[in-house]
């Protein structure tokens, strides 16, 4: 796959895009958040050093989900008042993109999904609210007010200017999973499922001193 390249407007380092639809990336060297306008990159902000790594996954990790190979190309780190989690941006070999969320090593793969029926507003959603999407019966199990702890790599959105974001996590009776993301209006819906770490057959993982996977 040919990868578009560009130059960081801040430090001049070469920026490689792994995913042709990426809108935002982060310079690996100077941590500038870069937003793509056609082929030109504009620096819109800078991330602080990322907090201590909490995941065996990293940019460049490769794996397989439902017989389709993927590569991890981006990451958003969210934190909320009692914890933190990662959303890893996946690029699949068939050109689609999705998310691998990693909350305390509980893994779920999800894809953006057009809601079958209107979603409640951020003030109207509550724990226990039920929803049917593509035949999957879901109920809200967690409402989370999160903030951005950091971003890394290529992302399909411009996330640099969002500070607070509200999420509603939904679960089903059979391991399905959904998230309502209230950072946009109307809110975005992501639908997916929980996965076992082993089932993703990931390579190029981080290693942990003193542990074997």
* Alpha carbon 112 to chain centroid, angstroms: 11
- Cβ atoms of residues 80 and 147 within 8 Å: yes
* CB of residue 68 to other proteins, shortest distance in Å: 19
Taking CB atoms within 8 Å and a gap of at least 24, the contacts of 173-178 are 173/137, 176/136, 176/138, 177/108, 177/110, 178/110, 178/113, 178/131, 178/133, 178/136, 178/138
* CB of residue 64 to other proteins, shortest distance in Å: 17
Q: Residue 194: enclosing H or E segment and its boundaries?
A: strand 188-195
* CB of residue 67 to other proteins, shortest distance in Å: 21
Told to check if 132 binds other proteins by CB under 8 A, we report no
Site for other proteins, residues 151 to 210, rule: CB under 8 A: 152-153, 171-175, 177, 194, 197, 204, 206-210
Q: How far apart are CA 194 and CA 103, in angstroms?
A: 11
Nearer of residues 59 and 155 to other proteins, judged by Cβ: 59
Nearer of residues 51 and 186 to other proteins, judged by Cβ: 51
Neighbours of 5 (CB within 10 A): 10
**Residue bearing tokens 């909320």:** 80
Kindly list the strands in the beta sheet with 40-46, ordered across the sheet, starting from the edge strand earlier in the chain. 24-26, 32-37, 40-46
* CB of residue 108 to other proteins, shortest distance in Å: 7
The window from 4-12, 40-48, 98-106, 157-165 that contacts other proteins (CB under 8 A) reads 98-106
By CB under 8 A, name the one of 9, 56, 115, 122 that touches other proteins. Answer: 56
The window from 7-15, 93-101, 113-121, 140-148 that contacts other proteins (CB under 8 A) reads 140-148
By CB under 8 A, name the one of 35, 59, 100, 180 that touches other proteins. Answer: 59
Site for other proteins, residues 65 to 94, rule: CB under 8 A: 79, 81-84
Q: How far apart are CA 149 and CA 31, in angstroms?
A: 13
List interacting residues with other proteins (CB under 8 A): 28, 51-54, 56, 58-61, 79, 81-84, 104-106, 108, 127-128, 139, 141-144, 152-153, 171-175, 177, 194, 197, 204, 206-211, 213
């Amino acid at each position: 796959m040919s990868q578009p390249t560009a130059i960081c407007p801040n430090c001049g380092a070469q920026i490689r895009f792994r995913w042709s639809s990426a809108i935002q990336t982060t310079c690996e060297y100077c941590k500038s958040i870069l937003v793509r306008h056609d082929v030109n990159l504009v620096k819109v902000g800078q991330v602080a050093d990322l907090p201590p790594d909490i995941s065996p996954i990293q940019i460049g990790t490769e794996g397989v989900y439902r017989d389709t190979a993927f590569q991890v190309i981006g990451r958003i780190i969210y934190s909320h008042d009692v914890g933190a989690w990662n959303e890893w941006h996946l690029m699949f070999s068939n050109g689609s993109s999705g998310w691998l969320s990693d909350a305390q090593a509980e893994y779920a793969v999800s894809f953006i999904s057009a809601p079958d029926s209107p979603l409640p507003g951020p003030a109207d959603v509550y724990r226990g609210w039920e929803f049917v999407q593509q035949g999957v019966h879901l109920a809200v199990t967690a409402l989370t007010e999160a903030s951005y702890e950091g971003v890394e790599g290529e992302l399909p959105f411009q996330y640099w200017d969002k500070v607070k974001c509200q999420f509603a996590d939904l679960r089903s009776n059979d391991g399905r999973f959904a998230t309502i993301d209230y950072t946009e209006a109307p809110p975005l819906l992501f639908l997916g499922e929980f996965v076992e770490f082993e089932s993703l057959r990931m390579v190029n993982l981080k290693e942990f001193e003193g542990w074997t996977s």
